[in-house]
Structure 1
Amino acid sequence: MAYKISAVAILLTLVGFFYFGSTPKITEKAFNKVPSHQKWNALLQKNVNTNGDVNYKAFVKNKAELEAYLKLLQDNSPAKNWSKNDKLAYYINLYNAGTVKLIVDNYPVKSIKDIKSPWDKEVVAIGNKMYSLGYVEHKVLRKMNEPRIHFAINCASYSCPKLVNKAFLADSMDAQLKSAAIDFIADKKRNVITPNKVELSEIFKWFKSDFTENTTLVGFINKYSATQVKDGAKVKYIDYNWSLNEAK
């Protein structure tokens, strides 16, 4: 009996190793320099308008500059000595730049969903390991106890929160996240807010647990909405438009 139990334990250990070992975890160094996000900011200013529409054709031409920025992030990965805002800036900018890189590598496309398993592809490097956008979002950013990241990261689609044409920076992180939340919730193409009824982006359905950890969904909306929603208001979700957020 003892022999059988040991054999089973060894088998489960091996299965767990191969299954969970397929996606490497991010190991932070004790100290690392915080990289500048100036290169990314310059690319955004040049190729993204104030509505968040992206000139992907220009990004294709600027691919070397985009790759240089991603290499900068790869070589200066987050470390234990960084502040939370330093890490938020790193991972938000990494996600957004990685998404643009994914579209550029497969351009032209009409939707990010035209790319097979776009959020499972290992497309960004941190240190000497590759990670998927899904990993960065779900295993890193969503673990940082900051639900407003959902208004900061962009999935290259019209129904997503817009790609802001400025890099996220540690020194202005709270103000930028607050602005992104206010802008997204007030955008009538993405949310329709009235006192007795709200039509919300499906982001609020998919990630409801993130928004309601310390409050209700209506309570969260009311923090950032000019129109205050009454408790018990009817909630409906708007179908997501996955068309590429490309400048016309």
Structure 2
Amino acid sequence: MKISTIGSLLLAAGTLTAVAVTGFSPVPSPTYAVAATSALVDHSAFDKLLKKHVSAQGLVDYKGFQADEQVFNQYLAMLSKTPPAANWSKAEQMAYWLNAYNAFTIRLILDHYPVQSIKDIGAKIKIPFVTTPWAAKFFSIAGEKMSLDNIEHGILRKKFDDPRIHFALVCAALSCPRLRNEAYTAAKLDGQLEDQGRDFLNNPAKNKPGKAAAQLSKYFDWYKGDWTQNNLSVAKWVNKYATVKMDDNTKITYLDYNWNLNKQ
């Protein structure tokens, strides 16, 4: 995932009960109506591959994906041919783009495997004005060449106004949120995103919240504008999911980002 300033990088079935913290109000989660009829895209093939080749900790068996490459490519081909339509529900559209981002990221790694880091791929790119793997247009949706950046910044961040996407998009690095070992679906989307938030904020390898001082993922720095829109704040988002709470005076620093591949 590309970050804005350096080539910059790169986020419920019911709303969590707010834990009372002085000065903070609960962060509302968007709720998405599910259409009465399901979308034309069936994510079950991707769901089976994720269950088979991704651990509970989000580590990926890339060799396993290579062994099931035919099934995986068929799923990607279906995504390419069936973009979200205007009559899809918001949840269906969002689930489609989250799955597409994560699936095409896996495809990118497989295209260059073995690699130690997705950033190693950037050094191999020989396309004018393209210096990162997230900017490379290596797949198509509805006949239009697209990049991972197009999905993240041009569609998900722009259209859905939901910072929780940063808990769900996975850039194949150890400091990314956990790659969920199930596909996103419209029916379960809110619960899945809430679970991703709890997992991310309470994983000490990725975030270390605290009252006096907090060491957070660089996501909360890189995407600060997303977390502070709608009169919210980084602290309010952290407090929604973390078991250890912050307040207005908490000193925030950011953890170094581990770009090593999220492989088993």
Question: Shorter-chain-normalised TM-score: which range?
Answer: 0.7 to 0.9
1:36 and 2:42 matched: yes
Per-residue deviation at 1:145?
Answer: 0.4
Give the equivalent residue in structure 1 for 2:262.
Answer: 245
Give the equivalent residue in structure 1 for 2:70.
Answer: 64
Unaligned runs of 5+ in 1: 1-31
SS of corresponding position for 1:79: coil
Give the equivalent residue in structure 1 for 2:162.
Answer: 146
TM-score (norm 1): 0.85
Q: How many residues align?
A: 216
Structure number with greater Rg is: 1
Alignment deviations for residues 142-190 of structure 1 (CA, whole Å, 9 cap, x no partner): 1110100001010000000010100001011111000001110000000
**Matches of 2:240 and 2:248, distance apart in 1:** 13
Per-residue deviation at 1:124?
Answer: 2.7
SS of corresponding position for 1:153: coil
**Matches of 1:183 and 1:82, distance apart in 2:** 29
1:132 and 2:139 matched: no
Paired AA for residue 40 in structure 2 = V
Provide the aligned C-alpha RMSD in A.
1.1
Q: Is the 8 A contact 2:139 2:146 kept in 1?
A: yes
Alignment deviations for residues 63-103 of structure 1 (CA, whole Å, 9 cap, x no partner): 11111101111121111101111011000000000000000
Which structure has more helix as a fraction of its residues?
A: 1
Give 2:199's match in structure 1, choosing from 183, 192, 206. Answer: 183
Paired AA for residue 78 in structure 1 = P
Alignment of 1:39-58 (within 5 A): 39-58=45-64
* Identity score, percent: 41
Alignment of 1:149-228 (within 5 A): 149-214=165-230, 215-228=232-245
SS of corresponding position for 2:229: coil
Give the 4+ runs in structure 1 shifted more than 3 A.
none
Per-residue deviation at 1:33?
Answer: 4.6
Give 1:75's match in structure 2, choosing from 74, 77, 81. Answer: 81
Q: Is the 8 A contact 2:39 2:92 kept in 1?
A: no
Q: Is the 8 A contact 1:122 1:131 kept in 2?
A: yes
**Matches of 2:119 and 2:259, distance apart in 1:** 7
Give the equivalent residue in structure 1 for 2:136.
Answer: 121
Deviates more, 1:222-231 or 1:46-55: 222-231
